[in-house]
A and B are shown apart, each in its own frame.
Chain A
């Protein structure tokens, strides 16, 4: 009996030791991990766009962990949460994940609606928001929303790049006088985003801007395009989302409208905008903020360290798509910000919320660094300041050849002289409405 009791006590002691060692080891491991919640939409009506982005985002993180052993030895722990592109589920995901595994320091909401819902929450929590091209364009004015970053461009900046391209095609800005440009858009705050910029150009250069709202989701658009055909526009700007884009392209094409004079906005630039439209989409153009295709050194690295090791997030059919590339570069910006955060504080230690935010507020990724990352030409360079949360805001024009997107221009600088005062005015109005005191950047 005594022996049994002793044995039990010894066993309990041993178990306790093992448990304690395990706990310490887990804690140490956790301490060496940087937590990254990933709000994704792999299901629901917009899943065709969401899957590619989520795969690219996750694959880049896997690459950093597998190839480099993390950022200076700090591995990234990625956890996905399915939002279905619904605002309520996005908020629920954020609230559920934000304090897990040492706490989130940055979040990419991947939806304009979720971004709007999360802005006050992330401000209160001190968490950085990376809203890549979507969300509030006026967040590019840093003093008001100091934790939100519009890297690498906004709807407004990219629209100035589109107008620059149109002017070039017409042989100069002066030749826009008397032309007709249609803006066909998702009848929502998103679709109306570029209207201010377009109206400014219409007034300044003397073309007629025809504003054509399309009611979401846009499964039936004959009436809109019948009217557009009658206008005989010189150029068309398309700001659709989801099924609205291929339906617009297909309907326009079937009415004899030249889709090579149709330029999609940054969220009418994905593969799901053109593939369902089949042959009708051939020649369609769109503006985007990254290079198209898979001809970049990063893909060789991904093949060696991720795909060939069966560690890819998806089935593999999203590689090289616009959505996948966006996932790659968004994760790239986040990882580089953490790298710079470690350089500013301590290498080899996960960054805190404050350190992460501070790094984003001076994020600097020159072109040479994008090349070192294997993403030269894919990822536009970025330089963030306290005042400017967008950076250079560069974008390029691509064209669908029926099989793939082809880059038709190099990255172009937007007209920041036009858009930055607009950001400032809009952001200051928002600050007044929300009772936010803009911070000083002096």
Chain B
């Protein structure tokens, strides 16, 4: 029983880290209807800048992290100007394809600037084991969960309590109606991509701390995709709940099903879980049901 609980809690905490990456996708899709393929590249980009500024330039993380945030705002501005603005009113698939371009451009730029060697990104989050009886929890996971919880609360407060938050919600509800009352879409997009940049910075710190900063970090996107499928593309709570279900589901499957069917199943089993839920709710657990008049 204790082992089951350890696997379950470990899975839930892993799911929180998946949800963190999924959050960035949700924020941009919710506000602009764009599935931002480049979100994982933004995580790598942010991590490379933080790791590079600290390891190569000798800046403290207290300086490297805010500087990276500023750079992410700059990236958001450039993306809006160079990619999104000329594509207004294009089909969603065209915008999606353009984010594939952004994905490779961001990785390429970061690699040209910092090189491809791996770096550490240790901002001081302890990784000591914590024992509850025979059950082991990792302090790194618990602190990460607390960081993600704080981020989600911050995002919800921003969305509900600030003027810009209301603007974002208005745009998310209906672009054209929002524009008709004077909301500037280009500003909203810069703000949304900047917030996604903030999420990428946090994800970069957490994932970079766990993996080290190296190009393969973009693969964390494959952990976020089943979370998105399950939670829906438009719901922040959906991303969190789906992250927990996927994390726990894949961990339990690996331990209890893995030995029967060969092990190493966690990478694809997450998608099986997501697809099983989608049969029941195609729009995801918390996604908006799309009803269109013909």
Contact = CB atoms under 8 A, between A and B. Distances in A.
Interface of A: 42-48, 50-51, 187, 211-217, 219-220, 222-224, 226-227, 229-230, 242-243, 246-247, 250, 253-256, 272, 275-278, 280, 315, 317-318
Contact of B210 (A44, A247, A255): A247
* Chain B interface main SS type: helix
A223 B251 contact: yes
A256 B223 contact: no
A46 B218 CA distance: 12
A219 B214 contact: no
Nearest to A186: B264
Given A217-B216, A223-B251, 13 more contacts: A45-B214, A187-B264, A211-B263, A216-B267, A227-B255, A243-B216, A243-B217, A247-B210, A253-B127, A254-B128, A254-B140, A255-B129, A278-B122
B7 A247 contact: no
B256 to A, nearest CB: 10
Nearest to B263: A213
Interface in B244-294: 250-251, 254-255, 262-268
Contacts, number: 127
A307 B254 CA distance: 50
A254 B219 contact: no
Interface in B157-186: none
B133 to A, nearest CB: 14
A45 B215 contact: yes
Nearest to B131: A256
Contacts of A318: 117
Interface residues of B, number: 47
Contacts of A47: 111, 116-117, 214-215
Given A217-B219, A255-B138, A275-B212, A223 B266 contact: yes
Contacts of A42: 116
Give 9 nearest A-B pairs by CB, closest first: A276-B212, A47-B116, A213-B264, A187-B264, A215-B267, A45-B216, A48-B118, A223-B254, A213-B263
Of listed B6, B207, B255, B266, residue having the most chain A CB within 10 A? B266
Contacts of A227: 255
Contacts of A46: 216
A44 B141 CA distance: 28
A214 B264 contact: yes
B116 A276 contact: no
A212 B129 contact: no
A219 B11 contact: no
A212 B264 CA distance: 8
B92 interface: no
A274 to B, nearest CB: 10
Contact of A276 (B7, B111, B119, B129): B119
Contact of B263 (A212, A220, A255, A275): A212
A267 B48 CA distance: 24
Contacts of A280: 127
B201 to A, nearest CB: 18
Of listed B10, B122, B207, B213, residue having the most chain A CB within 10 A? B10
A194 B177 CA distance: 64
8 contacts: A47-B117, A250-B127, A250-B210, A254-B138, A276-B211, A276-B214, A278-B120, A278-B122
A276 B120 contact: yes
B154 interface: no
Contacts of A51: 115-117
A223 B3 contact: no
Contact of B211 (A187, A219, A223, A253): A219
B188 interface: no
Contacts of A50: 116
Contacts of A187: 263-264
A404 B255 CA distance: 35
B79 interface: no
A254 B117 contact: no
Contacts of B17: 220
B212 A277 contact: yes
A280 B128 CA distance: 10
B136 interface: yes
Of listed A215, A216, A227, residue having the most chain B CB within 10 A? A215
Contacts of A214: 264
